[in-house]
């Protein structure tokens, strides 16, 4: 129990370190974690309170045949079952399912409780908790629907009870006050939940933008050097684990400096972008394409041997050689260096092999594909 209370304090009150949810996925996981813990907290409170009142009926008032006792005991056991289900399966799907079922069970309990007690000892006060529970657990939109259905049924009962409840003391004025209070409370909770949802969406958009900026080259919109290097490290681990071939190619535009000198850097940038768009049409979904620096690019080719990777690069080379660029009439070609992962080779060694092959392609006359020996 102490561990659970500590998790409530840390998660619901956001006392965790900020670094725990810097990523978009981390923020989304935190939202579901908060929902699950909030749901469990409400279920624990419901179980303890109703079990306490049912115990009072059984041992103090000795009225176990009373309908209120049966209702309280049954609902407390339902809450206990929901807690156990969440502990067994804390997945998002099960959390959403338990949240919806708990909301329906809570609504049924309150409506039956109000009908049985007919506002004796001001039992209607428990109805004020339903909008809070429904909208915080299910979200503002779904929770509002539950709330409106619940309030409609509750107010029908309350209206029919005018002149009968509380030994005839329940009046139209009491009904109007109850209606106004419930509607105001529901409106405030809805506005608060909507603001929280919007704030989380804005945070997700900012994190998504930051995540994209941290992994994407600003000019060409492909992976930047940092991200393609991370992709390569993962690809090497997978290739070693499953004993599958892995190759990469390092290539650049031949005499790109002359293009910048003759046409200017803006036209040079457009050449890079147009070439990247054309290459993206050729590479497969399993390949990873990134800008290594300047006019130099790297493609990670999983499940490709040096021979098949060379054939693939030759296809790209021919495509670039035949390209016409919108604002550059100069004939543009590329040189490629291909290397295949060998046992025990690191990412740095693999890139170095491809770089050496690229150097050979440049020395041999450019506009060609060379494979590391």
Q: Any catalytic annotation for residue 296?
A: no
Cβ–Cβ < 8 Å for 106, 93: no
The length of the chain is 373
**CA distances (Å), 130 to each of 104, 182, 238, in order?**
10, 10, 51
Q: Which of 274, 295, 304, 340 is catalytic?
A: 295
Active site residues: 295
């Amino acid at each position: 129990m102490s561990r659970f209370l500590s998790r409530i304090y840390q998660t619901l009150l956001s006392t965790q370190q900020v670094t725990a949810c810097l990523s978009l996925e981390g923020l989304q996981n935190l939202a579901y974690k908060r929902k699950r813990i909030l749901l469990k907290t409400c279920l624990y409170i419901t179980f303890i309170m109703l079990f306490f009142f049912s115990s009072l009926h059984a041992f103090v008032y000795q009225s176990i045949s009373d309908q209120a006792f049966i209702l309280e005991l049954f609902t407390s056991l339902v809450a206990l079952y929901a807690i156990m289900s969440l502990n067994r399966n804390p997945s998002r799907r099960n959390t959403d399912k338990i949240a919806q079922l708990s909301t329906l069970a809570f609504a049924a309990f309150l409506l039956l409780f109000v009908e049985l007690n007919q506002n004796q000892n001001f039992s209607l006060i428990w109805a004020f908790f339903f909008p809070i529970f429904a909208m915080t657990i299910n979200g503002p939109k779904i929770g509002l629907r539950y709330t409106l259905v619940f309030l409609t049924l509750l107010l029908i009962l309350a209206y029919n009870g005018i002149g009968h409840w509380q030994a005839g003391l329940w009046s139209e004025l009491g009904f109007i006050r109850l209606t106004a209070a419930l509607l105001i409370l529901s409106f405030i909770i809805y506005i608060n939940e909507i603001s929280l949802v919007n704030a989380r969406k804005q945070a997700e958009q900012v994190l998504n933008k930051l995540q994209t900026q941290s992994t994407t080259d600003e000019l060409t919109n492909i992976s930047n050097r940092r991200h393609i290097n991370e992709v390569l490290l993962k690809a090497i681990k997978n290739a070693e684990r499953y004993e599958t071939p892995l190759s990469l190619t390092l290539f650049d535009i031949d005499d790109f400096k002359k293009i910048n000198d003759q046409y200017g850097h803006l036209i040079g940038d457009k050449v890079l972008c147009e070439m990247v768009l054309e290459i993206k049409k050729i590479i497969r979904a399993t390949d990873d394409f990134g800008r290594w620096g300047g006019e130099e690019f790297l493609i990670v080719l999983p499940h490709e041997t040096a021979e098949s990777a060379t054939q693939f690069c030759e296809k790209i080379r021919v495509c670039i050689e035949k390209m016409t660029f919108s604002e550059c009439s100069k004939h543009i070609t590329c040189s490629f260096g291909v290397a295949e992962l060998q046992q025990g080779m690191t990412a740095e060694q693999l890139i170095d092999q491809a770089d050496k092959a690229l150097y050979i392609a440049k020395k041999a006359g450019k506009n060609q594909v060379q494979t590391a020996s």
